[in-house]
Chains A and B, each alone.
Chain A
Amino acid sequence: DAGVTQSPTHLIKTRGQQVTLRCSPKSGHDTVSWYQQALGQGPQFIFQYYEEEERQRGNFPDRFSGHQFPNYSSELNVNALLLGDSALYLCASSLGTGVLSSYNEQFFGPGTRLTVL
């Protein structure tokens, strides 16, 4: 069973550039969440996609945007990169947001390490 996959593994960009990160959810999962994890910190919630729509959003500026495709895969786009955007970007997948407790468990991918110079 393929787990959550992310690409690329590492990425180096310069300030002001734009970046796109990609995520394929665990087989059978339909919900994708994105997180930013700075060194030594816990993951910070960026947003969540379900049924191709942004369902929830954390405290991130509009420079961070995303998309979910019909096959449930997802992209995270960051425009006008800042030095502070350097972090590990994590994608997590889960099965819907229904009332059954097992639906809320998230499984994380290995992350994309973004370095902004």
Chain B
Amino acid sequence: EDQVTQSPEALRLQEGESSSLNCSYTVSGLRGLFWYRQDPGKGPEFLFTLYSAGEEKEKERLKATLTKKESFLHITAPKPEDSATYLCAALTSGTYKYIFGTGTRLKVLA
């Protein structure tokens, strides 16, 4: 069964304290791995797409990486405005279904 697991469920960081979020996936063929940011009561906001192992993408303080089994979202020197839930999703080959993880709730303290 296709599955995406995110860890940790919640993370509290001090401003400037770098860390990484994990997204492990078990799917029948990966077409793409997506990262989203979601603020409370709002729809997910697209961050990155990764398509092949070894691929990396960066945006401001965020950097996403992909291996054959997992993806990491690295947050460098976070700020309070980075506080949100970060979701990852795997797009499966052939079925075009997006399988989402349950997210990591990030809180950055000033």
Contact = CB atoms under 8 A, between A and B. Distances in A.
Nearest to A42: B100
B51 A108 contact: no
Contact of A45 (B46, B49, B98, B102): B98
Contact of A109 (B4, B43, B97): B43
Contact of A58 (B31, B34, B45, B97): B97
Interface residues of B, number: 26
Contacts of B45: 108
Interface residues of A, number: 27
B103 A42 contact: yes
Interface string B67-110: 00000000000000000000101010001111111110000000
Contacts of A42: 4, 6, 87, 89, 100-103
Interface stretch (A68-76, A78-86, A98-106): A98-106
B59 interface: no
B96 A55 contact: yes
15 contacts: A42-B103, A43-B87, A43-B89, A43-B100, A45-B97, A48-B96, A55-B96, A88-B41, A90-B43, A104-B31, A104-B96, A106-B34, A108-B43, A110-B43, A111-B43
